[in-house]
Structure 1
């Protein structure tokens, strides 16, 4: 899809929809683990998987951030029509991301116990969580490969193929979860094995598709050259985007650490609540990522008018969708929690409902923040996204740790939307100041 010429509203929706559906399927990996583990193994196992999910989200954000940053470079070169520079950018980015993945994977196994101790994992679930992460870390290479090729295809307007491979692997993950946990009685290890097998299916499948379908983007061995300017541009975009994604999820990890100190009941409630959150605001998160590609393609094509019009349209769509989702989550908080927690677990159930009633009411804040992230990243200014992330997460973490001693877990839940709206205020102020400068420059010409 050429996002520099299409109808903006229709183009954004059609381009974003496969990304949204794809990431919803990706969440099925952990969702199926959570449902099956919580229902058939127990609350302690659910708490272990939930805590491991926060850690895995942080690690995945590193690979995703690198790939998303590289995708901005790919989109700009695609918008400019510079295919040779696009080819070199793909080669440099792939080598960089795979190298970082391998080094990080080694470090995780070396420092596994210190990481788990840092997370303040209770002794009651420590062994279960260690078994789970020992296995799940084996799938990080597959996650990295999938995210790279997914971002690459989306950057040139193809958002459908990543959805296809995720659909295949998500179905496989559910089937293997049921087989390994219910059929073979492998417990929490079975859930982890099912997940990594499904991840390798999606990673290997999308890479083989790319190599067969997009041969023109693959340089011949004799054309492999090191280009310091491309590496400079790539590092500037990828590392800053990686930093933004990592800061965002590291803040979540710190919140998880605080939640862990309240014990298995709060941990289980938070694990279920975060899964509901993920599905609730994932569409606006992915819409922000799709919007980033729209912005970067039009930045490459020098279509400032479309960027400004697109920002207005995207903001309106994000606010409306987020408001509807908040209403639905508030009204149906109890049945949503009961998807993960049995009715007899009343303490876990009501703790999770309080979380959704407090935090889930304000999804507009996180929706607009994801849109701002996408805008500044697409403009080639990921540093601003980093600042907004640090502001949002810093506020969230500091308030959570300050309020928790007196308000308990409710203080943690209250801190989350406050951080969102503070970052929104700064981000929109930044956008309007920048737009004013552009308008004055045009008037001056």
Structure 2
């Protein structure tokens, strides 16, 4: 994809790390709350904790979307000065920021399953996410020559694949705790 795209991807990965970390930490908190209340047999508190955690994930997902979308160029300028690199990074951030709500949801759902001790679902959905990303990225990069735009689209496909695996299992499992 070229030196400028690789440099842009390196910079946006730093921004992505800052964007995803709170989503992951909200999910970790949900995991602890769910596990403690499952152990105590308090299903109502488990459900309330999950709902509150998902609301926090949603609010944060919207917040980080706005920050990264509106301030894409200034964020890129924190890491690089080359205009071509900044341009590629801004393109990536504009695309990926719209999608930040999806990893917020997948992190929250994984927090639920970790909290109830069902780690095979988190493993399977994570493997689906990675596999779909690779399967979608390859033709976007090698056949359609999309460049840096291919990556957010492949992430989108991976998160959708993850949700396709997780949501039916979440609904079935969540209802069992009612």
Alignment of 1:322 onto 2:57: no
Q: Partner of 2:16 in structure 1?
A: 277
**Distance across 2 between alignment mates of 1:320 and 1:418:** 22
**Distance across 1 between alignment mates of 2:65 and 2:3:** 27
Structure number with greater Rg is: 1
SS at match of 2:79: coil
Q: 1:15-56 CA deviation, whole Å, 9 max, x = no partner?
A: xxxxxxxxxxxxxxxxxxxxxxxxxxxxxxxxxxxxxxxxxx
Query: Normalised by the size of structure 1, how large is the TM-score?
Result: 0.38
1:290 pairs, out of 21, 29, 40, with: 29
**How much has 1:319 moved relative to structure 2?**
0.7
**How much has 1:265 moved relative to structure 2?**
1.7
Q: Partner of 1:33 in structure 2?
A: none
**Distance across 2 between alignment mates of 1:366 and 1:428:** 13
**How much has 1:291 moved relative to structure 2?**
1.0
Determine if contact 2:5/2:147 at 8 Å carries over to the other structure. Answer: no
Q: Partner of 1:382 in structure 2?
A: 119
**Aligned residue pairs, count:** 176
Alignment of 1:336 onto 2:53: no
**How much has 1:349 moved relative to structure 2?**
0.9
Alignment of 1:302 onto 2:47: no
**How much has 1:428 moved relative to structure 2?**
2.4
1:7-406 correspondence to structure 2 within 5 Å? 262-342=1-81, 345-405=82-142, 406=144
Q: 1:340-390 CA deviation, whole Å, 9 max, x = no partner?
A: 001xx1111111111101112111100111111111111111110011101
Query: Normalised by the size of structure 2, how large is the TM-score?
Result: 0.93
User: Structure 2: which 5+ residue stretches go unaligned?
Assistant: none
**Distance across 2 between alignment mates of 1:375 and 1:268:** 36
Determine if contact 1:277/1:360 at 8 Å carries over to the other structure. Answer: no
1:423-442 correspondence to structure 2 within 5 Å? 423-439=162-178
Determine if contact 2:31/2:115 at 8 Å carries over to the other structure. Answer: yes
Q: Larger relative contact order (C-alpha < 8 A, sep ≥ 6)?
A: 2
Please report the RMSD computed on the Cα atoms of aligned residues, expressed in angstroms: 1.4
Runs of 4+ in 1 over 3 A off after TM superposition: none
**How much has 1:329 moved relative to structure 2?**
0.5
**How much has 1:435 moved relative to structure 2?**
2.4
